[in-house]
A and B are shown apart, each in its own frame.
Chain A
Amino acid sequence: MGLSVVLVLIGLWVGQNVNLLPIDASANAPVYDELFQVLFSIGTSLLLGIVGLLIYSLIRYRRLAGDTGDGLAIEGNLPLEIFWTAVPAIVVLFIGIYSYDIYERMGGMAPLNDHSVHAMHNAADQAMESGMVPGMAMEAGDGPARVWAGISPTGSGADTVKVDVTAMQFAFIFRYPESGIISGELHVPVGQAVALNMEAKDVIHAFWVPQFRLKQDVIPGQPTLLSFTATKEGRYPIICAELCGPYHGGMRSTVVVEDPESYSAWVTKNSPAPLPVSVSPANPVPLQS
């Protein structure tokens, strides 16, 4: 038992001091890392504690050569069983409540447009009436998406950077509706909320930035929204995380987090002539990077 206690303490120490995660570059990444640290500490100490018990039993109670006797005829112990039903239940409950709190701090439980299903049906009906393919109707982006929000109920603030994301085999295309920029790379200003309105053209993809600790599937016919606030300047990979075809492993892009001045300069430099720009779905504009 003493051995197990020592192992549990080692587990706690490991959980607190070993970092397995990449750098944190969005406002919800530190919150995520806090959750990770708690889970990692509990998990490591639990694993080491159980392994300690297991190895101790195997050594202490090993059968000696020639011993044909039996062990103790213990068929159960009710208090003990209540104990190890209650303790995991409490631990799991604690983890559940704690992760709910984390999720709320990330903005995941913020009141969302949960009438998405109806929106979908309406859009589909309208599309049918007008003879359009429903998937195309959603391109207009009017139906609010099923949402996973990033940190805090941003996404609708006045200074939020809005970007329409189109995923297709095997690229992401970023469209800035305010400036008309179309880019193969996502540029965002540091410290400012960003709202991505995402939809796939062909199959399901997923938008993942490991340094932001965020992932959201990008689904054809069903727009999804993802908002975040980048906190550290740098270039981070955008990775497609849903099997989408032969070149799935190569479907990557970059998010460039830069200071507001550089971002403004990038916007100014890349803004097309003040004409309403739209991308024809059948004829995507070549990427620029």
Chain B
Amino acid sequence: MTLTLSPPTAAPEPQAPLQPQGWLRYFSFSVDHKVIGLQYLVCGFLFYFVGGALAGMIRTELLTPLSDFMPRETYNEVLTLHGTVMIFLWIVPVVNGAFGNYLIPFYVGARDMAFPRLNAVAFWLIPPAGLLLISSYFIGSASQSGWTAYPPLSLTTPASGQVIWILSVLLLGSSSILGGINFIATILKLRRPGLKMLQLPMFCWALLGTSILVVLSTPVLAGTLVLLSFDIIAHTGFFNPALGGNAVVYQHLFWFYSHPAVYIMVLPAFGLVSEILPVHARKPLFGYITMVYSILAIVVLGLVVWAHHMFTSGTPPWMRLFFTIATSLIAVPTGIKFFNWLATLWGGKIALNSAMLFSCGFIFNFVFGGITGVALAQVPFDIHVHDTYFVVAHFHYIVYGGTVFVIFGSVYHWYPKFTGRLANETLGRLHFVLTFIGFNLCFAPQHWLGLNGMPRRVAEYDPQFTFVNQVSSVGALLMAISTLPFLINVVYSAFAGEKAGDNPWRALTPEWLTSSPPPVENWKGPAPLVTHPYGYGEAAEPQAVGASSP
């Protein structure tokens, strides 16, 4: 595995720039992985604000038990768009595309991704797909069948919106597959000579696992959606019971992708947290090897748990039993990671800055969501709360409380790398406090709503739930407000922030062993060989294991 496609140690000849320079390159078909990473990041944030606005509309409608804020059809369009935008245009592209592209070449000691042009293509599929999806609202009707698009409902709602939804998800899925192939090739084949797999920073393992899931499961979703589009356009009967099809088969195929999708959203976040905690606690990552094995275990198990989304779909008892056990087992490797992170903090010298606060917020939220997840895996428990607000609360604890918190923490952590300036800590901490309180206020009460009889995806509900829904909406408002200090911070600090220097955190991972922001092709000289990316500790001098060239 020491073969590399291009020897990265050879210093490149200075050559005339083939690509636009300055701010223009962010609007170009750049093949620089750092530019592409930031393109993913900023583009993702734009869609995050769209998805957030849609969430705000949902919470406004739910202030009262009656359907009085928007028409019922619109409500279903809004909830469908909210889910689709947040998953396919915000979390998946940002946590994989943005941070993966920016960091992976550094971590493997390469000057770019294995397939730079493919990389650019993968990114440039996203903006048109996103605009296509959102435009469906303005041409006729957006999809109204939820992000799950279960037939026969998706066959009976307005076809234009549903077909556009399918096309857009197919484009985004293609982008995701291209990205996944690129990450696998880069991590396996582009490592700097002398760098072993078990010396890679944990984020590489997380993205390798994620990319395997992407490549194995996304094509299944694509195939399923093509069949669904045939049912809509050509009136075939794959999933249409009226034509002899089977609606439940769609659910199996859909969740064969969409459960691994949860790990596609969560595993990279695990990797990012594993990078952030050691730096700000000044301690090695605890239990490197077990962390690697637990990622691999999650990848394997993640592929065989999909039917836990279907415990009320008329699945036979043996299947329920199998999927209960497989799902519960995922708690073991996931638990290992959390205990290892706690052990990383234990005995460290912890800087409670924005990046660390968001990482610790992630630990709290994800443990909460993980515990409700183990409960939901139990068939008899799930039978009551399936398709209720309990489930809504659970998965927001995982994808927002988990991954989105990590995205914010990562932006603060790598902001000096991206811009050469430090983000403002006061604004960052204010952002954390508002987000943490707002998030928990919004979603914790929803567990109770689900247990007591409020189903998900409703525009109207039993009046006894009014007060708790209003509490939840106040939480959502706080979350919306919390983005203001963040936005002010990232814009203001980019121009007027304190100069960071190359390595403000005194970190040991390779992206910090170059200038901030880094030059094209990452290092002026040869790529450093970093065999101990977490070599913190009283014994080790910072940089001592760093930039040694062979």
- A residues with a Cβ closer than 8 A to B are 20-22, 31-32, 35-36, 39, 43, 46-47, 50-51, 53-54, 57-58, 61-64, 67-77, 80-81, 84-85, 88-89, 92, 95-96, 99-100, 102-103, 106, 108-109, 112, 114, 116, 120, 124, 127-128, 133-135, 145-148, 202-204, 206, 208, 210, 213-217, 219-222, 224, 237, 239-250
Contacts and interface: CB of A to CB of B under 8 A. Distances in A.
Contacts of B536: 70-71, 73
A145 B342 CA distance: 49
**Residue from A54, A57, A249 whose CB has the most chain B CB atoms within 10 Å:** A249
Contacts of A239: 453, 455
A96 B283 contact: no
B286 A75 contact: yes
A39 B506 CA distance: 43
B60 interface: no
Contacts of B343: 74, 77, 80
A64 B336 CA distance: 29
Nearest to A29: B384
B189 to A, nearest CB: 28
Contacts of A134: 241-244
**Residue from B284, B324, B383, B384 whose CB has the most chain A CB atoms within 10 Å:** B384
B390 to A, nearest CB: 10
B224 to A, nearest CB: 16
A101 to B, nearest CB: 10
A61 B76 contact: no
B288 A63 contact: no
Contacts of B10: none
B141 to A, nearest CB: 11
Contact of B320 (A39, A80, A108): A108
Interface in B63-89: 67, 71-73, 75-76
24 contacts: A35-B381, A43-B375, A46-B367, A62-B351, A69-B282, A70-B538, A71-B349, A71-B536, A73-B283, A74-B537, A81-B290, A92-B374, A95-B328, A96-B328, A103-B378, A108-B317, A112-B316, A112-B317, A114-B318, A124-B244, A133-B243, A146-B314, A222-B241, A246-B73
Nearest to B152: A203
Contacts of B539: 73
B367 A57 contact: no
Given A71-B536, A108-B380, A217 B349 contact: no
Nearest to B331: A92
A243 to B, nearest CB: 4
B247 interface: yes
Interface in B511-536: 534-536
Contacts of A103: 320, 378-380
A2 to B, nearest CB: 15
A4 to B, nearest CB: 11
B477 interface: no
B313 A214 contact: no
Interface stretch (B110-118, B264-272, B457-465): B457-465
B320 A89 contact: no
Interface in B360-379: 360, 363-364, 367-368, 371-372, 374-375, 378-379
B386 A63 contact: no
B252 to A, nearest CB: 13
A128 B244 contact: yes
B312 A99 contact: no
A20 B445 CA distance: 11
A237 to B, nearest CB: 6
B470 interface: no
Nearest to B315: A146
Given A69-B538, A241-B386, A210 B452 contact: yes
